[in-house]
Amino acid sequence: MVAEKGMLIVVSAPSGTGKGAIIKKLLIEDKNITHSVSATTREPRKGEKDGVSYFFMNKSDFKKMITKGALIEWDEYCGNYYGTPKKYIDDVTAAGGDVILDITVAGAVNIKKECPEAVMIFVLPPSIKELERRIKDRGTDSTADISSRLEFAYSEFNNIGDYEYAVVNDNLDTAVEEVKAIIAAERMKYKRNPLILDNLYKGDLK
């Protein structure tokens, strides 16, 4: 059953853990979920498309979005700005769709303040060695970026207590199944479906 208002599903993890890979599979398997496209000042990587991977922009345009209140949250990460456009989330969740966000820990904590009902999932790599292997083998970041991302990763682990769920991404398919199980359980929470009796039984309840 789809809830009356869509959920905000927040996924965070140190860079290279595999949250992008998990979200990609999840979106194929669950058509009620869409991915929010963030704004960023980072340069596009090979293969990334404007408006699909991110809305790529310069710092001045990013700051204008902040001033206009167009971002529900934003953060600075390894020298670049990243932020979540508010309108898309409001429109999709109002129509009953779920939106998944792939954002930094600081951004996630801010979202939770704005939207306490957001579902908070922290994805963990199976080991630090494997995290290093994945971020290096991904082949998308310079050596300097890899070291700053790994350096930052250690501080991110300290914030796991702000999340409700921890999923270990050892086997990708298993991790996707675990995220799907979390989402399924969250959708069944009564507080997300306060009109369930009226909707199911219409006027038949005495």
User: Footprint of ligand 5GP on this chain (CB under 6 A)?
Assistant: 15, 38, 42, 73, 75, 77, 82-84, 102-104, 107
Measuring CA to CA, which residue among 103, 51, 114 is closest to residue 74?
Answer: 103
Q: Going residue by residue from 52 to 91, which x/- string records binding to ligand ADP, judged by CB under 6 A?
A: ----------------------------------------
The H or E element spanning position 49 is none
Ranked by CB distance to ligand 5GP, the top (closest) residue is 107
Instruction: Tell me the closest approach of the beta carbon of residue 30 to ligand ADP, in angstroms.
Output: 17
Using CB under 6 A, which of the segments 1-9, 12-20, 85-93, 190-198 binds ligand ADP? 12-20
- Of 118-137, which residues contact ligand ADP (CB under 6 A)? 134, 137
DSSP helix/strand/coil, 34: strand
CA angle 180, 86, 78 (to 5 degrees): 80
Degrees to nearest 5, angle at CA 23 with 89 and 171:
155
Q: Between 17 and 36, name the residue whose CB sits nearer to ligand ADP.
A: 17
Helix axes of 19-29 and 172-187: crossing angle, nearest 10 degrees: 60
Choose from ligand 5GP, ligand ADP, none: what does 186 bind? Cβ within 5-8 Å by kind.
none
Picking from 20, 74, 26, the residue whose alpha carbon sits closest to that of residue 47 is 20
Element of type H or E holding 157 = helix 143-157
Planar angle of CA 47, 120, 199, nearest 5 degrees: 105
Q: What one-letter code names the amino acid at 38?
A: S
- Region of 11-19, 59-67, 68-76, 185-193 interacting with ligand ADP (CB under 6 A): 11-19
How large is the greatest C-alpha to C-alpha distance in the chain, in angstroms?
Answer: 68
CB of 174 to ligand ADP, least distance (A): 8
Q: Is 20 among the residues that bind ligand ADP (CB under 6 A)?
A: yes
Minimum distance of ligand ADP from residue 87's CB (angstroms): 24
Nearest residue (CB) to ligand 5GP, 3 versus 7: 7
Binding partner of 77, given ligand 5GP, ligand ADP, none, CB within 5-8 angstroms per partner class: ligand 5GP
